[in-house]
C-alpha cells in the first residue's frame, strides 16, 4: 500500500494515509472547475477511515448534477481545497492531487465529465475518457 501525505498551503491542515488508491481521475465538471479555479480537478479516491487528518477543515455542502450530496473540505485559513465526500460513495474520501506530497503517485486513469471540459483543455489520448461519470 502506498503512503499518502500532504498539507494545505499554510500547513495548518495535514494528512497521512497508508492505503490503496481505489481510483484516480481528472474531473472536468463545472463544480470541480469552479471550486478549484483550474481547468479540471485531479482526485485520488481512498478509504475514508484510512486517512488521518490533523486540523479542522471547513466544509462546503452542495448537490451535484447527479443528485448526490457533496462536501468539499478546505482549510479555513488559506482556502486550500483538500478533500471531498460524495453521498453516492460512502466510506470513500477524495483527495485533491495538488495537496499530495508524493507527486509520483498522481497518475490519473480517467478523464470524467469531458462533456463539460473547457474546449481548449488538452486531454491525453492515452487516458480513458468519459462524457459523464462512468458506472
Domain of residue 57, CATH code: 2.170.150.70
Q: Domain residues for 62?
A: 3-129
pTM above threshold 0.75: yes
Residue 135 lies in a domain: no
Beta strands 110-112 and 23-27: pairing type?
Answer: parallel
Provide the domain count of the chain.
1
- pLDDT (tens digit per residue) in 74-103: 999 999 999 999 999 999 999 999 999 999
CB contact at 8 A, 84 and 60? no
Residue 134 lies in a domain: no
Residues 6 or more apart whose Cβ sits within 8 Å of residue 23: 44, 45, 109, 110
Residue 41 lies in a domain: yes
Taking phi over 0 as left and psi of -120 to 50 as alpha, with beta for the rest, 101 belongs to: alpha
Residue 100 lies in a domain: yes
Residue that is written with C-alpha cell 478546505 in the block: 74
Amino acid at each position: 500500500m502506498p503512503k499518502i501525505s500532504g498539507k494545505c498551503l499554510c500547513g495548518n491542515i495535514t494528512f497521512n494515509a497508508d492505503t490503496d488508491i481505489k481510483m484516480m481521475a481528472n474531473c472536468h465538471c463545472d463544480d470541480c472547475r469552479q471550486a478549484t479555479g483550474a481547468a479540471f480537478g485531479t482526485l485520488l479516491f481512498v478509504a475514508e477511515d484510512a486517512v488521518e487528518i490533523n486540523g479542522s477543515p471547513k466544509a462546503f455542502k452542495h448537490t451535484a448534477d447527479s443528485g448526490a450530496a457533496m462536501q468539499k473540505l478546505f482549510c479555513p485559513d488559506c482556502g486550500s481545497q483538500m478533500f471531498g465526500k460524495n453521498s453516492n460513495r460512502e466510506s470513500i474520501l477524495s483527495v485533491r492531487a495538488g495537496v499530495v506530497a508524493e507527486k509520483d503517485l498522481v497518475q490519473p486513469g480517467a478523464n470524467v465529465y469531458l462533456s463539460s471540459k473547457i474546449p481548449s483543455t488538452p486531454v491525453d489520448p492515452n487516458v480513458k475518457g468519459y462524457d459523464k461519470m462512468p458506472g
